[in-house]
Structures are given as C-alpha cells and as structure tokens.
Amino acid sequence: MRRASIHISVLPALLLLCLGTPPTTAQESSRLDQVLDRVFAQEQGMLERLMDHHPLVETYLQSVKPNGVEGLTPISDRYFLGRLQRFDKKKKSGEQLVDLYHYSVTANPDGFARMLTLDAADFQRKNYDVRFVRREFLGEIRTFVFDVVPKTVKGAKPGRFSGRIWVEDRDYHIVRYNGVYGSIFRTNLHFDSWRVNVEPGVWLPAYVYTEEPDRPGGDPKIKHMGQTRIWGYDVGEQRFDQEFAKVLIDAPLTSDESEQPGQISPVESFRAWEREAENNVLRRLTRAGMLAPEGGITEVLETVVANLEVTNELDIYPPVRCRVLLTTPLESFTAGHTIVVSRGLIDVLPDEGALALVLARELAHIVSGHRVDTKYAFSDQMLVADKEVLELFSFAHDEAQERQADLRAIELLQNSPYKDQLAGAGLFLKTLADRSNRLTTLNEPHFGNRVATRDQLSRLQPILDAAPEIDATALDQIAALPLGGRVKVDPWSAKTELMKTGSVAPMSAREKLPFQITPLMPYLIRHRGTAATATVTTTNNTEPLNAEAR
C-alpha cells in the first residue's frame, strides 16, 4: 500500500490541538487538513485490503431485561455465523456481504458486516464535518479523537455514519469508531467497532459491540446487546499455499539397525485408519477457520487430560490431543482421540474443576471406545465447501453413549486431583440448565451434543450434590463467567491463548454476569513482527485456568 507523505512540522500543530488549543492560523489549519486527508485516505486503503480477505464473521445477540437482583438478565438470544464476501465498493443493493453458514432467526447480517467499515465507498472528507476532541491512549496506542457527522447539504446520501473515531498517531489509521449509521439500514444499532494491528502498518476489523433499546412500540425495558467477532484473515488457502512453498531441508540419513516389522498388524492398521479420519477432520476444520491451530490453550487442556489419565492409570494410544473450536455456542466433542472444546464454553467456565468435568466427559467417550466415523478417512469427504462443513460433519453421540460417558466421567473425576474441586462444576451445570430455555442458540452446538440436558443432569447427581444452592446475591458464588472472559483469539492467524488478566471481584450481584454479553474493550498494541495481538478486557471474576501437571 502506498503511503502518502506528510511533513514533520504537522506534529507541533497536533500537539497544540491535544492540549486543547485550536489552530489559530491558516497554516496550522492547513496542516490539520493534511492529517485529516491522510486519515480518510488510509480508510479507503483499509477497505481495499479488506477486499482481499474472507474472514469468518460471527454475531451473537442477547435480549436482556432488568432484574431486581442481577441488574440485567438475558431473556432470549440470536446467532449467525458466516464468511465475509468480497467487500466491494460497487456491490449492488440487496447483495449479501456475508455468506451465511448458520443462523437462528431472520436477521440482517449485512447490517453487522457494514459495521466493519466506515461508510464503505463514501467515507470522504467532502461528505463529513470533522471536529478534534482530545488525545487518548487505547492500550499502548496513542490516538487522536475526532467527532464526525455527515454534512447537511441538499441531496446528501442518507444512512451515513455519525459518531467518534480514534486515529493512531503514527500512520493515521482509524483504530476505533463509535456511533450509529442512519436509518437506511434495517439493522440500525449503535455500535463500538475495534481494529487490531495484524501486520506492520495494517489495521483490520476484529470486534464489534452493539447495544440498542427495543424498537419503537416495543417493550421500553428490553435492550438488545451483541458481540461480533472477526477472525481468520490468514486462514485457508493462503496459509496452506505458503506452507507448500517453504523450503524443506532433508536431515542426513542415519543408520537404524533395529528390527523392522515386515507387516502392520490388523489392530495397528485399524488404529491408523481411525487416526487418518481424525486427522482429515482436524485439517479440514482448521482450513475452514473453525478450529484454532495447535498451541496456546491446547497445552492447558492437555495438562488437565494428562492429570486425569495418570491418576486413573490410563494408557491411551494414540495419545489424546485437544483443540479449540473458535465459535461461541457452548459445546465439546471428540473426533477420534482429539477432544474439542468451543471458545465460548472455555470463556464461561468458572474454574479448573469445571474444565476438568468437561474434559473428563470427553475422555470417557474415548476410553469407552466411542470412535470417529471412519468415512472421514476417505479424502473425497473433505472436498466440500466451508459452508457445508457445518452441515456434513457431525460428532454427536447417541443417548446410550452419552449415558455411558457420564457414568465413566464420574469415576475418572473421583480418582483425580479434581475430586475436591467440583463445587464450581456443579454450580455451573445448575445455572446453565436454569437458563437453557432462554439462551437457546448459546446452547445449540454446531458439531456435538449439548453441554447440559435434563437426562444428563440426573446422571451427574454426585457433581450437583457437591455444589451449593444457587444464590444470585452471594458475591463469592461465581456460577459462570460472561462471554469473552477467558479466551483471546488472534484475528489474523486464529491462534488462541488465555488472557493474562487478574481476577476482578464483583462489587455487586449486577457484576456477576453469568453467560452474558459484555462490551469488548481491546488493549491495543502495535505489531511486533509476529502474530497480531490485542487483549480483550472483560469482567473476569474467578480463578484462572492455568492448569499445572499434578
């Protein structure tokens, strides 16, 4: 991308502005105009870059209502998942910007997709009035803050953005904007949109938080809140093509004088065939942007699994692996000897004991011999569009297998170092069951079984018995975290890691927020030569899941 030049003398004028002193001369005003011209040009450059990528776009919405004890409590939810299409400035009205993969109700995904950019083709100086407000840090990024409103001229296009923008002070990219589009769009919500620095000089959309009262004529007490997440800019064909292009250096041949078998046994062949099906599934889900690459959180999950295996004297081969599904709905499943847990489920788990329960149930499926469907070992099963992955891949177990796994999971936990840490797990299940009728899409898995059903709770009675009764007023009783409370996802590479934030004790029951949507407030930093990073700050009021081998 070409970078417009700007004379260094513009900085003194901006520093005067940051101190609250307006430009007093025509020269200073002209310098400010140069900066604003650069801001608008960079936004158009960002849009052109966005046209080259097709990240996944996921929006989860909750309708909430006042509650005397908890402040706001969810009463219903909605969800859609799709892939961003070519974000073309010339796209005709009515053409979708998002290719929907999954949606729960009639929604307008384009309304949320438009929040990823500022007025697409028409964010130009001739269309907007701009006023400097202040200087502000967003994380480590020093920014200039401006208010922008559409010009009120005859024949002006309706539906333009009104609000505030934050501009980083090095290359003048917009890194945050907060406001609303005009009423031309059906999904007309106030939104707070954030970008992260994914490569040197490149800022791309990562998070959007939306909030709006109920529509006119509806219930004035109801509010609609939403989180939109974007990830996987560098996931898919581009990354795999890059791997193919890498230069591979063969290691020197070494002499191995050990006895070599002349034939693989039938049992080994059977295991290898199942492993091939398992690996095909993992590669296809990763390529589709659904599954995070190995590393980061998988190490924590595998440590908990190892603790369960060692204390139960299990010798499992091939070894058990763990991966993170990047979507919000709460689910876990096994694909062969790989345990997959969704980002949303990891987000809301209250403690390590609750995580151990989730992993113990999936480990129980593995030791009970519940295998992956070996049809996935045939390569033609992988030759499907990303959209079809959700429709054709299923790892749900039948009721008999679920019953067997639940009973075996209790045995595994009772022999494990987590046997005295299950109060939080029981409280989590109780609270999830209590809210499952209202949060239907949060509890609707993509690939596996529901986390908590009525039949399952009856089989996990020993876990429930270890938990206290639900008390919404007890500040020391954390049944579940809000969404976004634990997992950080790199929007560029889709890698995951646990947030490095301290525990925040709630000051009132209103701040407990189990399973609820909260604003996304990234701690922005500049790209440092590796994967892009941004820490999302949310309410995190319980112990970290930094599992250690025991």
Q: What is the DSSP letter of 416?
A: S
State the pLDDT at residue 14: 46
Q: What is the pLDDT along the chain (550 residues), one digit of tens a residue?
A: 444 433 334 444 444 444 444 555 666 677 788 889 999 999 999 988 888 899 999 999 999 999 888 888 999 999 999 998 865 555 544 445 777 787 765 455 566 777 888 887 688 889 999 999 999 999 999 999 999 999 987 766 677 899 999 999 999 999 999 999 886 545 578 999 999 999 999 999 999 999 998 877 778 899 999 999 999 999 865 455 555 555 554 545 445 555 566 678 898 999 999 999 999 999 999 999 999 999 889 999 999 999 999 999 999 999 999 999 999 999 999 999 999 999 999 999 999 999 999 999 999 999 999 999 999 999 999 999 998 999 899 999 999 999 999 999 999 999 999 999 999 999 999 999 999 999 999 999 999 999 988 788 888 999 999 999 999 999 999 999 999 989 999 999 999 999 876 667 889 999 999 999 999 889 999 988 644 445 444 445 555 566 677 6
- Spatial neighbors of 415 by CB under 8 A, at least 6 apart, are 311, 312
Classified as helix, coil or strand, 85 is: coil
Question: Minimal CA–CA distance to 446: which of 102, 107, 108, 109?
Answer: 102
Q: How many residues does the chain have?
A: 550
Output the DSSP codes for 164-186.
EEEEETTT--EEEEEEEE-TTSS
Amino acid (one-letter) located at 427:
L
Angle subtended by helix axes 352-367 and 423-435, to nearest 10: 80
Q: What is the DSSP letter of 214?
A: P
Output the DSSP codes for 33-62.
HHHHHHHHHHHHHHHHHHTT---EEEEEEE
- Spatial neighbors of 87 by CB under 8 A, at least 6 apart, are 47, 50, 51, 97, 113, 116, 117, 120
- Distance, in Å, from the CA atom of 94 to the CA atom of 83, rounded to the nearest integer, reads 17
Q: Where are the beta strands (DSSP E) in 169-311?
A: 174-181, 190-199, 202-213, 223-231
Given a contact cutoff of 8 angstroms between Cβ atoms, the answer to whether 183 and 174 are in contact is: no
CA distances from 298 to 101, 304, 355, 538, 546 (A): 26, 10, 12, 22, 11
- Distance, in Å, from the CA atom of 26 to the CA atom of 330, rounded to the nearest integer, reads 58
State the pLDDT at residue 428: 96
CA distances from 73 to 213, 215, 399, 431 (A): 14, 19, 32, 13
Q: Which residue in the block uniquely carries the two structure tokens 């995190």?
A: 540
State the pLDDT at residue 531: 42
